[in-house]
């Protein structure tokens, strides 16, 4: 799939953008993280929903690096994490800057190409990408209102994202929806961490947040992606 390039003045990175707009220019927008590796699964999920007439139109925009997970060009660890642990050898902790790129540079750029309602802009990701989604969700003010969170890497930096979400529950946030999911055959630690988040949200509800948690039988961390996007898109946009 051919990509276009967009330079980020926020962190100096050239991002590769992939687009899939089967409904034309006028449709809700979902950004898909890890666009180099995961955008095809999101497109397959959307096309399946449209074939079933379960969903009308959503514009998908994948955000990538021009290189897969192990490529030196891929900066997902830097961009999708919100802190730099002392024992982490890779550059990390760039989530605030990356989120600024998404909101201040990418969305205005996309508004010149597509007509999408600003009150339903979504952010979708898997694993580290969904850690970035949780980070954005925890911000008191964000342009994103819908979050597709698949198999989130809550483990990062001793689960510090749970503290951020707890703090969000004590603040006034704009209304938002979150679809949280995982495959039932994922690792015990990933399953346990999502359960921790689920229980925390039950004990400490975040005012303005409407969320669901789904677990997919027979799916693990690697083969859950298309189903997670299909059910997430259905719940967030149908």
pLDDT at 171: 76
| Nearest CA-CA partner of 98 in 67, 77, 120 | 77
pLDDT band of 101, cuts 50, 70, 90: very high
Span 4-237: which CATH code?
3.40.50.1820
Whether the per-residue pLDDT at 63 is higher than 80: the answer is: yes
- Please answer whether residues 62 and 17 qualify as being in contact, where contact means their C-beta atoms are separated by less than 8 angstroms: yes
Q: Return the exposure string of 63-78: e unless at least 16 CB atoms fall within 10 Å of the residue's CB, then b.
A: bbbeeeeeeeebbbbb
Whether the per-residue pLDDT at 42 is higher than 80: the answer is: yes
Answer yes or no: pTM beyond 0.75.
Answer: yes
pLDDT at 211: 97
Whether the per-residue pLDDT at 169 is higher than 90: the answer is: no
| Nearest CA-CA partner of 175 in 100, 231, 121 | 121
pLDDT at 168: 84
pLDDT at 173: 76
Whether the per-residue pLDDT at 189 is higher than 90: the answer is: yes
* Domain spans, the chain: 4-237
The CA distance from 90 to 40, in Å, is 27
Over 73-97, what HEC string results? CCCHHHHHCCCCCCCCCCCCCCHHH
Whether the per-residue pLDDT at 2 is higher than 90: the answer is: no
The CA distance from 164 to 30, in Å, is 23
104-156 pLDDT per residue, tens: 999 999 999 999 999 999 999 999 999 999 999 999 889 999 999 999 999 99
Q: For residue 200, what are the contacts with CB-CB under 8 A and spacing of at least 6?
A: 162, 165, 166
| Nearest CA-CA partner of 95 in 58, 123, 61 | 123
Residue 85 structure tokens: 């642990």
């Amino acid at each position: 799939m051919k990509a276009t390039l967009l330079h980020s003045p926020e962190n100096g990175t050239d991002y590769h953008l992939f687009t899939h707009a089967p409904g034309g220019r006028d449709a809700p927008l979902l950004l898909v993280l890890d666009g180099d590796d995961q955008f095809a699964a999101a497109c397959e999920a959307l096309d399946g929903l449209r074939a079933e007439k379960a969903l009308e139109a959503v514009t998908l925009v994948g955000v990538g690096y021009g290189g897969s997970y192990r490529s030196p060009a891929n900066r997902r660890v830097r961009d999708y994490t919100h802190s730099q642990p002392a024992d982490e050898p890779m550059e990390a902790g760039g989530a605030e800057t990356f989120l600024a790129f998404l909101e201040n540079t990418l969305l205005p750029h996309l508004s010149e190409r597509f007509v999408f309602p600003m009150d339903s802009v979504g952010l979708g990701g898997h694993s580290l990408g969904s850690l970035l989604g949780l980070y954005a969700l925890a911000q008191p003010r964000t342009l994103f209102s819908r979050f597709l969170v698949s198999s989130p890497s809550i483990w990062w930096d001793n689960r510090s994202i749970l503290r951020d979400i707890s703090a969000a529950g004590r603040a006034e946030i704009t209304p938002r929806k979150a679809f949280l999911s995982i495959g039932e055959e994922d690792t015990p630690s990933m399953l346990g961490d999502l359960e921790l988040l689920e229980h925390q949200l039950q004990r400490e509800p975040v005012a303005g947040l409407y969320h669901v948690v789904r677990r997919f039988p027979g799916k693990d961390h690697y083969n859950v992606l298309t189903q997670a996007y299909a059910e997430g898109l259905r719940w967030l946009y149908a």
